[in-house]
Amino acid sequence: MSTMRFLLEHPIRARKVKEAAGSKCELCGKISNTDELEVHTFIDPGEEQEMPAEELECFLLVLCPQCHEDLHELPAGCEVQQMLVGQREDSIKRRIRAILGYIPSPYTPPDSDVEAAYKDACASKFGNLI
């Protein structure tokens, strides 16, 4: 199965990805109807097989048809698409990853909290030794 297992086979998911990107072209910024926007992907099919679905977020772009065509024509297309993904806002990244099948890891409290909890536990057990 290819990247498009999500995007082409599941039009609703493709639409959600476009909406997550703000329903606009990530290259020229033009706001468009999600039906008009296209999802461009750039990943080696072999690599893709071994990748968790949410990682595909780094290998797709939401583009208007004109920019999509241009990007394919552009000699520096590879660099441009990587730059665009690199500039993507974290909130958008998170949304797209969630759509692509992100399963959140179990909640781990910040280090400081763990330490405080540990100190509390020790203090109650051994007095104020630490």
Alpha-carbon gap, residue 40 to 56, rounded angstroms: 11
Token reading at 12:
């609703």
The contacts of residue 112 (CB under 8 Å, 6+ apart) are none
- Is 25 a binding residue for Zn ion by CB under 5 A? The answer is yes
Alpha-carbon gap, residue 54 to 11, rounded angstroms: 17
- To Zn ion, the closest distance from the beta carbon of 40 in angstroms equals 3
Q: How far is CA 62 from the centre of its chain?
A: 12
Nearer to Zn ion, 21 or 67 (CB): 67
Locus of tokens 């969630």: 98
Stretch that binds Zn ion, among 50-58, 62-70, 83-91, 96-104 (CB under 5 A): 62-70
- To Zn ion, the closest distance from the beta carbon of 89 in angstroms equals 17
User: Which residue among 39, 62, 64, 96 contacts Zn ion (CB under 5 A)?
Assistant: 64
User: Which residue among 67, 96, 99, 100 contacts Zn ion (CB under 5 A)?
Assistant: 67
- Is 27 a binding residue for Zn ion by CB under 5 A? The answer is yes
Nearer to Zn ion, 72 or 119 (CB): 72
Q: Which of residues 91-130 bind Zn ion (CB under 5 A)?
A: none
**Torsion angle of alpha carbons 16, 22, 23, 27, nearest 10°?**
-120
Alpha-carbon gap, residue 68 to 98, rounded angstroms: 24
Nearer to Zn ion, 14 or 27 (CB): 27
Q: Which residues bind Zn ion (CB under 5 A)?
A: 25, 27-28, 40, 64, 67
